Structure 1
Amino acid sequence: MFTFIPITHPTSDTKHPLLLLQSAHGEKYFFGKIGEGSQRSLTERKIRISKLKDIFLTGELNWSDIGGLPGMILTIADQGKSNLVLHYGNDILNYIVSTWRYFVFRFGIDLNNHIMEDKEVYKDKAITVKSFNVLKNSVNNETEVFNSFQKGVLGSIVSKMFPKHAPTDRYDPSSDPHLNVELPNLEAKVEVSTNYEIAFNPVRGKFKLEEAVKLGVPKGPLFAKLTKGQKVTLDNGTVVTPEQVLEKERHFAKVLILDIPDDSYLNAFMESFKDYDCAELGMVYYFLGDDVTINDDLFRFIDIFDRNDYGKVKHMVSHNKISPNTVSFFGSALTTLKLKALQVNNYNLPRTDRVFSKDFYDRFDKPLGKGTSVSESQERPLNTVIEKDDIHIFAQNKKVIFEPFHRNEEPMKCEITGDVPAFSWQKIFEEHVKPLEFPLANVDTVINDQLHVNNFNNTAEKRRHVEIISLGTGSALPSKYRNVVSTLVKIPYAHADGNIINRNIMLDAGENTLGTIHRMFSQLAVKSIFQDLKMIYLSHLHADHHLGIISLLNEWYKYNKDDEMSYIYVVTPWQYNKFVHEWLALENKGILKKIKYISCEHFIDDSFVRMQTQSVPLAEFDEILKENSNHEVRRKLDLDRDSSYRDVDQIRKMYDDLSIEYFQTCRAIHCDWAYSNSITFRMDENNEQNTFKVSYSGDTRPNIEKFSLGVGYNSDLLIHEATLENQLIDDAIKKKHCTINEAIDVSNEMNARKLILTHFSQRYPKLPQLDNNIDVKAKEFCFAFDSMIVDYERIGEQQHIFPLLNKAFMEEKKQEEDFEDVESIHDPEIKLKKQKKN
């Protein structure tokens, strides 16, 4: 038996489809796209992937399609997995993995990039996979992007990113040419879509013991030969064949996974599959990009596959106008609802609205909820031979199970289970919130009066105030209740004529920050947020702080590309700027013209500005490797002398463009090239004395001298990491983070007016330590929760609900304990963790 389990489908916060294929013996394979949020979806649904063997990537490879892959690989490696194979139909895959070299490094896992030629077959003991590489422009059959030398360099880089053994303590990444070599130039965008046919290896028939004995076959080795399909000769010369002692072999239906990025690919798909052999084809998955139109042209292609001698072909369609916009992360959404019941104006109700395809739902008579928005692509009904019972909507709960069947004796066995349940905030409130008996919280105030209400920047009073949205508040990796860290700060500026503009700045942006924004806000509100987004700041190179940045840049560009005067400032460690340039050269070079980059090092509160490493020219790569191999001491790579000079012109321009009075960084006590920062904004054109100073710690140990008494002193707002509970001081020292008390101490020494604590360890994802903390000298403070919107003038209001927060999460605490009790029976690691906690 083989089971296909949808891990993600197109929603606001998981944009693409991902399938988990699982055999009865436990082998696991991914097919589809590893978009941002994929890993969190696995955590949400308690799906373990320790036996994951292979990832088969489909379609094109833009960041939207694989933005969750770097984090997924890091997590798989940390779980002790020794090998993993990435399959794809173009050698651009090696370039893609190489761009991560500045922030992805794990030893002990053997990562193998398998580039599959068109029609190439991969086979193991369970499945056989055949690739179909469809070129967007079928006239140009040139699919190779790099020459043999360039391929060798890229392969060498990937091997250095995932070494089998840990490097020595003397290893210095800045002196390793593999991690500092320039990547090959990309002349044109790679436009190829990889697709797969999956065939399950047949099951041999049962061994007929009685028949073998009758034929005189003695028990022992000859039995084994027969079961392996080999004929045997008995002592008397009789030849016994497997067919005489085995029941008929059983087979499985085949599966096609087709990924069509946009309408311009459709003709190429028609050409590639017009003569496809549909015999024993049981299921076709259609992973349709947002820009694929649901019309007759599409269904002319789909109709190709409606032919099979063994039974009806089933069709499973994934598209953002067909799949439901269900809440992907229910645990997080329920947390938001409970917190909203306590502070109704501090959270938006997660949005589930969507515009659906009228053409599809009318033609196939699929149910839609009352009041659902629809749009149509053509006036006449869809023309297709597909019957309504044979087409299905791809969604998380739509499992497909394949069982073996006897050819020519019975139909294919393909069972589809699971329906999309009706979603009701009112029902969820009644079941989970009402029993808590929170004062003033009822279904009208929390749900009915708040549907589609945006509580960010939504009143005349708020438009004049600084506001903060904590989009993610966890550390290390996404969890069920907290996504990785990301904070948006809105700082208004009043012009002399009274007109107010906003300067939105993003302080770090972990994976799926954009998904959270889309879940929280309408498309109109999203547009406004990104038109006001003026700066993205990255504190350091750890992946949990920046895997969401490329998505934010793409979204920003969508709303600002036509405004010639619009630019976005990107302030990061210098290595990340190299990654941005290498990645956007692959995906969208146009964005690079709209980015104004400044290194964090150029804002350093120090007379000494560290130099960055000079990139190794591609042509010199082999020469340097040979030179290093002939010497015991590796040659240090050259430093970029110019990088020690602050980019004064760009900094002054940023000050003018964003009405900034001062921007400073100091070196954080965390990892190399890590920073804390402080920015002083002007607030009023008529009053130069009216300023607002915000400081952000990033990840760090307490930094009293440089941060509290240095760049951040007298901050109006401090946003500080508080990763660990106070009793875990040893862990905090080891991992170079702060406990809650240490973060409060930094605030007290800084003389900060107000304090927000964030970046909590995922070991207590629901609620940080609220009591047994030292006194906070700031006028107001609060603990950040995901999706929290807080007016700077009202930060302290959360303190009034502290007594109710423990009560709010009793249900989740009980569920987690029950799960750990069950899992600890099978998993010694969870058992040990539970014993330590107790």
Structure 2
Amino acid sequence: MTQSKIKMGKFTNIFLTGNLNWERMGGLPGLLLTIADQGVKSINVHSSNEHIGWACAAWRHFIFRQNIDLNPNSLAVNRLFEDKYFYALAIAISKDKDAAPLTEEQEKEHEKVNDAAKNIVKRMFPRPGDKVDSKDATSLKLNDIVSPDTTSSSYIIQIKQTRGRFNVEKANKLGVPKGSIRSVLSRGEPITLEDGTVVTPDQVLEPTINGPRVLVIDCPGAEYVDSVLSQDWVQSLSPAKHPKQTGKLLRSSALDNSASPPLKRQRTDNIDSPYDGLSEKPAVVYHFLGKSVNPFEGPYFDWLLKSKDLFKEDCMHFIQHPDYAPDGITFDSAALLNIKLRYLYPDNFRVLQACDAVKQMPANIPENIRLGYGFGVVSLEPAVQYDGRRERSSGAVDMAEIEELTLSPLKAKLVEANLSIEGEPTFVPPEIPETHLKDVEVITIGTGSALPSKYRNVVSTLVRVKPGERKSILFDCGEATIGNLRRLFGVDESIKVLRELQILYLSHLHADHHLGAISFIRHWLEANEGSDAPLYVMGPWKYFQFLHEWTQLEEAVSMGRIKFVDNESFIIGSSFLADNNRKIDEIERFAITDSPSFFYEMKEKVGLSDVRTCKAKHCDLAYCVSFTFDLSENQKFQVAYSGDTRPTNMFAFKVGQGADLLIHEATHENGLEKEAAKKRHTTIGQALDVARKMNAKYTILTHFSQRYPKLPNIESTSDTSYMSENESTSDYEGESLIPLDNGRTSVTGTDDLKVALAFDGMGVKLKDIEHQKRRYEQLKLFFAEVAEEESKEEQEDQEQAKPATKKKSGKGK
């Protein structure tokens, strides 16, 4: 949406389709954070699944926003939602027609669990004036769900009727005076003229126009097909079937639907409805089909073709199926930047992978049935019409042609600036002195902070200690990490990379550092199917609590293969219990009981001689870490990772001292020390000072601010001594912030360091790091061009956003 400039400031409703799992709603937490920042004050999230509120409550450890009201709304078993412009009827598609209803005891427990979940969500998204007691949402217990709900959410969307146009000629004949009285008739109310004549709306209004009906059918697998075929998709939305609940949510009594058994808590009181008796044939149908559902043969397709009484004759059908979906490049801006960076550093940037769909749509399919692609738009009023100008239907692309179009003007600018690299001899970096580390490879999958942008995804860094062997670690896992990994390596090669991975390390619970972890774990499990190798997930104990809860919804994530290790297991510093003031029973379940059983196992199985963590100065349960890998009897590799933090001596001198590789956040530019201190981040210069104090042999800076699409400046002066008024000279463990030891307060340049800036999709060996700066001037030119393009686009957007002004009349001149 960021790439396509879709404005989200007017979002009011989100309807989730399919099963309630991370694949379908994993993007929702990040979206909520984004739209909250864009000014959305209230949002409804709908699903036919009874556990939608529970699922949102499971996010309590990492989602909190005071400026948005979230309403997770279960429209289970054909409940109706009314908006200003449409009605939405949820249809719960079941894979088990004989599913038994809940017992009375289960009903009570279910209500209890859901009520507790609602209370948690309320505290996660408090409204202005809400009284939230001292127990914040993160400390509240979320009970296990009573019974799994494997139904798939589908919807009937009925656009409301539009009153006919006001007929001025008829009104004049009836003697209706001009003015506001006519608006009364337009609103559908009768009026009485001065002579006592009653004029009713039907006398002056054209016939009411029925709105179109849209179906959204989500059939996740072949086991759901029978349920789809048995539904009444043209049913009337009548008061007998759809009783009213207070507010805008209308809950129905049970319909005659054997696939979705009724629940005792449904209401049955009747109301008047503007759609009483209206049965409309669908004009548009979206078919979201799972891999095991054949879209062009068999029962589902036969039903689609033969149901002439169900659909309008010219009904548009859009079919989305994994085998018929091309895997094209979505982020054009990032792809073009990749081409430019690859031109400068051909050994460090891969050609981004894109491919056509596995299958092509058969010939002789009726014209009104087409494949559905991203960003295709259907206008529903005044006429139903498809607009495919923005749709993403391409797969594989001619990269050579795109490179030529992209690089030709850029090369000319380099020549003009006397920075051309054409004709230069091929540069081969000399081997590093530490020959046992020559194969270590670092892949910076995502390098941005806070939210994804057009040029940088949120942070994730893969370190392949021995490529080709099972000795890799992933540091943090922002949203879409697995997608970007596949974009870099392709499907087959990415499976090999996943099989190498042994540790997924999460530094803290801010959403930009782990929202991609569930999807990543699921793909890791698929890639390692048939192997008994575990994945060690090392992170804050509250993440394991979230993972334990979420796997109640996520069938594909098997906790038997996931072994959690608490970051506190390797802490250097003060007591975990004393520092966090936690109840011992909370610790026992997730840290003390589970973690030690894998503490020593991870070190032995992975081949680690040492693991150290310390508290990061950022937020609760945030950590810096150092891993030391045994490569042979006398050879080791130490990598230190800061996560998000202010610069601290504990990390520099105790945890990461002497590291072969330091990966450090550098969120803020030099000169923004005050802002960095306020937000508990590090400037570029401060990160470099940590590298000096750590005596790190090689350093990669990452996690850059997304505010501006410019090149981080590593050449400017940084005040490394700055601390805000509220910042203590001591960290959580009583250790000092950097610097307090040598009196140096400013540093310029990086001549004394082997350092590189991270970019999305960059892959470097240690020998490459110090040589990135040899083309720093070309990089500055590239990013100056990007900044100029962004500035132009921003000005164009501002011009388009301005309200149109009426031209002044020329009369009287």
- Do the two structures share a fold, i.e. TM-score over 0.5? yes
What residue is the counterpart of 1:150 in the other structure? 113
User: Which letter maps to 1:154?
Assistant: A
1:239 pairs with one of 198, 202, 208: 198
**1:309, CA displacement in angstroms?**
8.4
What residue is the counterpart of 1:16 in the other structure? none
What residue is the counterpart of 1:605 in the other structure? 572
**1:612, CA displacement in angstroms?**
9.3
1:708 aligns with 2:652: yes
Which deviates further from its counterpart, 135-144 or 66-75?
A: 135-144
**1:293, CA displacement in angstroms?**
3.0
CA-to-partner distance for each residue in 1:429-460, whole Å, 9 max, x for gaps? 12211221165679xx9xxxxxxxxxxxxxxx
**1:198, CA displacement in angstroms?**
1.5
Query: Is contact 1:305–1:313 with CA below 8 Å preserved after alignment?
Result: no
Q: Give secondary structure in 2 for the equivalent of 1:585.
A: coil
CA distance in 2, matches of 1:81, 1:639: 35
1:414 aligns with 2:385: yes
Number of positions where the alignment pairs a residue of Structure 1 with one of Structure 2? 704
CA distance in 2, matches of 1:156, 1:140: 29
CA distance in 1, matches of 2:210, 2:548: 49
Query: Is contact 2:294–2:301 with CA below 8 Å preserved after alignment?
Result: no
1:514 aligns with 2:489: no
Counterpart mapping for 1:195-234 below 5 A: 195-234=154-193
2:755 pairs with one of 770, 774, 781: 781
What residue is the counterpart of 1:544 in the other structure? 512
Query: Is contact 1:614–1:639 with CA below 8 Å preserved after alignment?
Result: no
1:591 aligns with 2:558: yes
1:399 pairs with one of 369, 377, 382: 377
Q: Give secondary structure in 2 for the equivalent of 1:362.
A: coil
**1:747, CA displacement in angstroms?**
0.3
**1:491, CA displacement in angstroms?**
0.8
Q: What TM-score comes out, normalization by structure 2 length?
A: 0.81
User: Which letter maps to 1:106?
Assistant: R
CA distance in 2, matches of 1:166, 1:744: 44
CA-to-partner distance for each residue in 1:726-777, whole Å, 9 max, x for gaps? 0111110110111100000000111110000000000123421243252336
2:330 pairs with one of 321, 328, 331: 328
CA-to-partner distance for each residue in 1:302-321, whole Å, 9 max, x for gaps? 22554478641111111222
1:126 aligns with 2:85: yes
CA-to-partner distance for each residue in 1:285-304, whole Å, 9 max, x for gaps? 11122343343233023225
Check 1:99–1:778 CA distance in 2 against 1; reply closer, same or farther (3 A cut): farther
User: Which letter maps to 1:513?
Assistant: T
Q: Give secondary structure in 1 for the equivalent of 2:659.
A: coil
**1:228, CA displacement in angstroms?**
1.6
Query: Is contact 1:133–1:192 with CA below 8 Å preserved after alignment?
Result: yes
Counterpart mapping for 1:1-80 below 5 A: 42-80=1-39
CA distance in 2, matches of 1:141, 1:645: 36
Which structure's residues are more often strand, by fraction? 1
CA distance in 1, matches of 2:50, 2:710: 42
User: Which letter maps to 2:481?
Assistant: T
Check 1:714–1:778 CA distance in 2 against 1; reply closer, same or farther (3 A cut): farther
**1:462, CA displacement in angstroms?**
11
Check 1:748–1:85 CA distance in 2 against 1; reply closer, same or farther (3 A cut): same
CA distance in 2, matches of 1:673, 1:609: 10
Counterpart mapping for 1:675-694 below 5 A: 675-684=623-632, 688-694=633-639
1:796 pairs with one of 770, 773, 776: 770
1:352 aligns with 2:323: no
What residue is the counterpart of 1:264 in the other structure? 223
Structure 2 gap ranges (5+): 237-278, 415-419, 427-434, 718-747, 803-813
1:88 pairs with one of 47, 50, 53: 47
Check 1:208–1:257 CA distance in 2 against 1; reply closer, same or farther (3 A cut): same
Which structure's residues are more often helix, by fraction? 1
**1:723, CA displacement in angstroms?**
0.5
CA distance in 1, matches of 2:477, 2:194: 74
Query: Is contact 2:17–2:47 with CA below 8 Å preserved after alignment?
Result: yes
Check 1:728–1:677 CA distance in 2 against 1; reply closer, same or farther (3 A cut): same
CA distance in 1, matches of 2:795, 2:788: 11
**1:816, CA displacement in angstroms?**
0.9
User: Which letter maps to 2:184?
Assistant: K
CA-to-partner distance for each residue in 1:604-652, whole Å, 9 max, x for gaps? 113633369899xxxxxxxxxxxxxxxxxxxx89664685799555322
2:788 pairs with one of 805, 810, 814: 814
1:651 aligns with 2:599: yes
CA-to-partner distance for each residue in 1:2-25, whole Å, 9 max, x for gaps? xxxxxxxxxxxxxxxxxxxxxxxx
1:468 aligns with 2:442: yes
What residue is the counterpart of 2:495 in the other structure? 527
CA distance in 2, matches of 1:207, 1:254: 25
User: Which letter maps to 2:635?
Assistant: N
Which deviates further from its counterpart, 413-422 or 329-338?
A: 413-422
What residue is the counterpart of 1:377 in the other structure? none
Check 1:573–1:310 CA distance in 2 against 1; reply closer, same or farther (3 A cut): closer
Q: Give secondary structure in 2 for the equivalent of 1:290.
A: coil
What residue is the counterpart of 2:124 in the other structure? 161
Query: Is contact 2:437–2:637 with CA below 8 Å preserved after alignment?
Result: no
**1:818, CA displacement in angstroms?**
1.2
The one of the two structures with greater contact order (alpha-carbon pairs below 8 A, sep at least 6) is 1
Query: Is contact 1:723–1:740 with CA below 8 Å preserved after alignment?
Result: yes
2:666 pairs with one of 718, 722, 730: 722
CA distance in 1, matches of 2:767, 2:142: 48
1:338 aligns with 2:282: no
**1:718, CA displacement in angstroms?**
0.3
CA distance in 1, matches of 2:234, 2:799: 52
Q: Give secondary structure in 1 for the equivalent of 2:626.
A: strand
User: Which letter maps to 2:216?
Assistant: I
2:368 pairs with one of 390, 393, 397: 390
Q: CA RMSD in A?
A: 2.9
2:539 pairs with one of 561, 572, 595: 572
**1:241, CA displacement in angstroms?**
2.4
CA distance in 2, matches of 1:185, 1:714: 46
Counterpart mapping for 1:481-496 below 5 A: 481-492=455-466
What residue is the counterpart of 1:99 in the other structure? 58
Check 1:139–1:225 CA distance in 2 against 1; reply closer, same or farther (3 A cut): same
**1:424, CA displacement in angstroms?**
2.7
CA distance in 1, matches of 2:772, 2:610: 31
Check 1:222–1:741 CA distance in 2 against 1; reply closer, same or farther (3 A cut): same
Query: Is contact 2:709–2:787 with CA below 8 Å preserved after alignment?
Result: no
Structure 1 gap ranges (5+): 1-41, 365-385, 406-412, 446-460, 494-499, 616-635, 829-838
**1:187, CA displacement in angstroms?**
5.7
Query: Is contact 1:85–1:114 with CA below 8 Å preserved after alignment?
Result: yes
Q: What TM-score comes out, normalization by structure 1 length?
A: 0.79
Query: Is contact 1:541–1:573 with CA below 8 Å preserved after alignment?
Result: yes
